[in-house]
Amino acid sequence: MSNKNEVTVPVNTPSRAYDVHVGRGILDSIGKITRASAGGSRACVITETNVRPLYGARVESSLAAAGYEVSTLTFPAGEQNKRLSTLEGLLEGLAEAALTRDDVVIALGGGVTGDMAGLAAAMYLRGIQVVQAPTSLLAMVDSSVGGKVAVDLAHGKNLCGFFWQPSAVVADVECLHTISPELYTDSIGEVVKHAVLADPQMLADLTDHPMNGAGYPDELVTRIVAKNIQIKRDVVNADEKERGLRQTLNLGHTIGHGIEAASDFALGHGSCVAAGLCCMARAACAKGWCKPGTRDAIVAAMAAQGLPTDTALAHDVIFDYMTHDKKRHGDSMNIVVPDEIGRVSVRKVTLAELRELVDLGCGCAAGNEPIPEGEAR
């Protein structure tokens, strides 16, 4: 803990050790943090069109004050631009800025930016350092930590990428004040997922006091973000390349990614994880893998945040996208099942069994009646 407004979470993976800095107003310290963690003489900020007007000049100024020669690359905002064609432009921009292997990329933005900038850093000159500066709640609690960087392909989300750990993460919770209430609420889906995974008390607190409720203080947001990072840190430290334990972080994602792709990414990632986790909980309960109380606690926590707890999308379409998931192994798939709050397991199921889970869990939040897409219960 460096001051009353900041929490530092150390991460120690086999490939790189680094600190995650969480707090209020710490974006102004990004130059100092980058200098201490990454060094180099040139820093290239990679950001997108919505974020640059908000924080670009502030980050550039901090980096320049720390002695960096600063350049900035900006790409169009939106998941639809998380493609190889956008990545090519960023790589050409890094080359034009004459960055060397000693220099650093700053990923300033949400999850899409973190993925794009991280992947560009991983590929340029066969790998240069990157500092993640997440500006969305989803990026703070999930994608900025752990080193997963990727772009989408036509057949699915994040199918082309690397594991490339950052040199530091700077998560300024004041940035959350400038994102829309809808995006903020969407991001809470991953927060609830982490609570289901490892913290029953946090799940109960979120159910009783929704994170998007009025008057939720920055100090409490800082502590919740730091706790989420600690949960993910413990998993990533033990299994950096997702060979075993790290698969548990995919809780809610197998069905969730199917919903996300089937909706043509019209729904936010956190909302899709929320619906996917609730669907998996219902299916697991129907199979006898968890008790009704576990299912009900998960659905209640998601609903308390105003997140969707089901989907009305066609099961055939969801399943088709699910079969393109990275977790598929031939004719089987690894799924993450909530055994109880705070404990999950990884199960290998056949594709036929996976389809059964979709039928058991989706479109049946109230008895067997489908609900309108995006509606929370």
Percent of the chain whose predicted confidence (pLDDT) is above 90: 81
Given 3, 126, 177, 329, the catalytic residue: 126
Residue 148 annotated to the active site: yes
6-178: CATH topology is Rossmann fold (3.40.50)
CA distance 114 to 17: 18
Given 253, 282, 295, 327, the catalytic residue: 253
Checking if the pLDDT of 320 tops 50, the result is: yes
Residue 209 annotated to the active site: no
Residue 126 annotated to the active site: yes
Residue 269 annotated to the active site: yes
Q: β-pairing, 42-48 with 69-75?
A: parallel
Given 21, 35, 157, 232, the catalytic residue: 232
CB atoms within 10 A of CB 338: 25
pLDDT confidence bin for 298, thresholds 50/70/90: very high
Residue-level pLDDT at 300: 97
Residue 92 annotated to the active site: no
Window from 60-64, 110-114, 210-214 with minimum mean pLDDT: 210-214
Q: For 158-172, how does the pLDDT look when each residue is reduced to its tens digit (9 = 90+)? A: 889 999 999 999 999
Mean pLDDT for the chain overall: 92
Given 227, 246, 282, 327, the catalytic residue: 246
CATH of 181-361, one of 1.20.1090.10, 3.20.20.220, 3.20.20.190, 3.30.420.10: 1.20.1090.10
Given 79, 190, 240, 260, the catalytic residue: 190
Given a contact cutoff of 8 angstroms between Cβ atoms, the answer to whether 11 and 20 are in contact is: yes
| Three-state secondary-structure class, residue 249 | helix
Residue-level pLDDT at 243: 73
Taking the whole predicted model, whether its pTM rises above 0.85 is answered as: yes
Given 42, 52, 148, 193, the catalytic residue: 148
Given 194, 242, 282, 327, the catalytic residue: 242
Residue 158 φ/ψ, nearest 5 degrees:
60, 35
CA distance 376 to 374: 6
Residue 250 annotated to the active site: yes
The structural domains of the chain, with segments of one domain joined by +, span: 6-178, 181-361
Given 52, 157, 193, 269, the catalytic residue: 269
Q: Which residue has the higher pLDDT, 279 or 325?
A: 279
Residue 242 annotated to the active site: yes
pLDDT confidence bin for 4, thresholds 50/70/90: low
Residue 232 φ/ψ, nearest 5 degrees:
-70, -40
pLDDT confidence bin for 370, thresholds 50/70/90: very low
Given a contact cutoff of 8 angstroms between Cβ atoms, the answer to whether 176 and 139 are in contact is: no
* Average of per-residue pLDDT across 43-71: 98
Given 52, 257, 282, 327, the catalytic residue: 257
Residue 18 φ/ψ, nearest 5 degrees:
-160, 170
Environment class of residue 113 by beta-carbon count within 10 Å: exposed (0-12), middle (13-18) or buried (19+)? buried
DSSP for 310-349, written as a single string: ---S-HHHHHHHHTTSTTEETTEEEEEEEEETTEEEEEEE
Residue 257 annotated to the active site: yes
